[in-house]
């Protein structure tokens, strides 16, 4: 089975960028392929990775429902489930070092619960064929209550350098306990540190029962790459953000 790493945190903390850097670490340092799962309805992991998305789980579901309602003929006499399985397999974006599956959102006013259930099902189904899975969840805590993140080896809760970010991390941690989710390790990363505020925020987090595993500094190179739409894989090795996150992951001795 795959070693599953998931990301959580409030909006604007940079968790999608951290997810991309984790993938880069696994590909470069572990020399193993990764299944990347963009479980955010507002998908943007593909942009961090420099990848175009041709379809999403949400869109496929809408198309399938439309075909069922219209009575459209299914190819080869496939059942609805067989057709959808085939479409999901076709939706996986295959690249050098990683594959990507994107949840997206239903068109119109559809509920995200169905798309979340599909993502969970196919992560479970596909994880046996990859050594690593990295899941970039949507901001906040809804993905926890919908159990998108339900069986995880390592959860990184990403905070920005604010008290509010730490408070959100605490609430996420408490909700995990309340829902009894299967998450082996939960660690806090404080992102975009620009001065000496890191230790103060670390103390605040630890007073709330959180384990801060490290800091990622504010990185002007990363900011400029993001501004220009350049993928995370093109960041130089000496980028402060790359060096900091790689050091954190080295210390964790991932399998």
- pLDDT tens digits along 207-234: 999 999 999 999 999 999 999 999 999 9
**Confidence bin at 91 (pLDDT 50/70/90):** confident
First to last CA, the chain: 12
Q: What is the CA radius of gyration of the chain?
A: 19
Note the pLDDT of residue 191.
Answer: 97
- Arithmetic mean of pLDDT, 46-71: 78
Q: Does the pLDDT at position 75 exceed 90?
A: no
Note the pLDDT of residue 88.
Answer: 77
- Arithmetic mean of pLDDT, 177-189: 92
Note the pLDDT of residue 41.
Answer: 72
More confident residue, 32 or 128: 32
Distance CA 50, CA 232 (A): 8
CATH number, domain of 203, equals 3.40.50.300
* Number of domains, the chain: 1
Q: Does the pLDDT at position 51 exceed 90?
A: yes
CB 17 within 8 A of CB 145: no
Residue 123 sits in which domain range? 3-252
Q: What is this structure's pTM?
A: 0.88
Distance CA 75, CA 118 (A): 22
The pair of three-digit structure tokens given for residue 18, joined into one six-digit string: 């951290």
Neighbours of 99 (CB within 10 A): 17
DSSP strand E in the chain: where? 3-8, 34-39, 93-94, 98-102, 132-137, 151-159, 182-193, 212-217
């Amino acid at each position: 089975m795959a070693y599953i790493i998931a990301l959580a945190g409030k909006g604007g903390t940079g968790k999608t960028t951290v997810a991309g850097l984790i993938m880069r670490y696994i590909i470069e340092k572990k020399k193993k392929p990764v299944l990347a799962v963009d479980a955010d309805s507002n998908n943007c992991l593909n942009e961090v990775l420099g990848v175009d998305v041709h379809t999403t789980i949400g869109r496929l579901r809408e198309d399938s429902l439309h075909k069922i309602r219209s009575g459209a003929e299914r190819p080869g006499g496939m059942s609805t489930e067989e057709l959808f399985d085939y479409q999901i397999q076709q939706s996986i974006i295959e690249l050098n070092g990683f594959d990507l599956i994107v949840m997206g959102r239903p068109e119109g006013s559809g509920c995200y619960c169905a798309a979340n259930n599909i993502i969970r099902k196919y992560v479970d189904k596909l994880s046996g064929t990859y050594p690593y899975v990295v899941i970039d969840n949507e901001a906040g805590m809804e993905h926890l209550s919908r159990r998108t993140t339900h069986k995880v080896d390592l959860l990184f809760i990403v905070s920005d350098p604010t008290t509010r970010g730490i408070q959100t991390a605490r609430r996420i941690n408490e909700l995990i306990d309340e829902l009894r989710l299967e998450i082996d390790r939960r660690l806090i990363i404080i992102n975009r540190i620009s001065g000496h505020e890191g230790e103060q925020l670390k103390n605040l987090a630890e007073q709330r029962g959180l384990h801060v595993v490290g800091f990622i500094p504010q990185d002007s190179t990363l900011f400029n790459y993001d501004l220009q739409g350049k993928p995370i894989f093109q960041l130089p090795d000496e980028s402060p953000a790359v060096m900091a996150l790689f050091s954190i992951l080295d210390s964790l001795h991932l399998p």
